[in-house]
């Protein structure tokens, strides 16, 4: 901690407190040594709804050729083409 610019007193206090609290020590090591920071989800329900909605949209895109009453071989080809376009759009 001193190497990062903290005073010796603050570094000593952090060392003493973190040695008493294993979870705090783990967080400090993860952040300082490995650069890993704990991220929180702002709203898990919102994230779940977005995931579900986009999953449904993606599935609907692939099923559309079958719903259009095309022949099976044409529906499969169109479904593969739509999947490639969807993946390319997502990757872009």
Are 62 and 79 within 8 A, CB to CB?
A: yes
Residue 92 confidence (pLDDT) = 86
Mean pLDDT taken over the chain: 87
Asked if the model's pLDDT at residue 49 lies above 80, the reply is yes
24 CB-near residues (< 8 Å, 6+ apart): 17, 18
Asked if the model's pLDDT at residue 40 lies above 70, the reply is no
89 CB-near residues (< 8 Å, 6+ apart): none
Q: Which two tokens stand for residue 80?
A: 């593969």
Q: Distance between CA 56 and CA 50 in Å, rounded?
A: 10
Mean pLDDT on 7-33: 84
- CA distances to 5, 23, 37, 46 from 1, in Å: 7, 18, 17, 38
Residue 73 confidence (pLDDT) = 94
Residue 12 confidence (pLDDT) = 87
């Amino acid at each position: 901690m001193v190497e990062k610019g903290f005073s010796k007193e603050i570094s000593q206090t952090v060392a003493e407190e973190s040695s008493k609290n294993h979870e705090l020590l783990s967080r400090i090591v993860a952040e300082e040594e490995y650069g890993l920071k704990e991220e929180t989800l702002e709203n898990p329900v919102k994230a779940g709804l977005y995931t579900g909605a986009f999953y449904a949209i993606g599935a609907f895109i692939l099923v559309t050729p079958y719903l259009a009453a095309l022949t099976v071989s044409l529906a499969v080809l169109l479904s593969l083409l739509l999947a490639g376009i969807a993946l390319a759009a997502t990757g872009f």
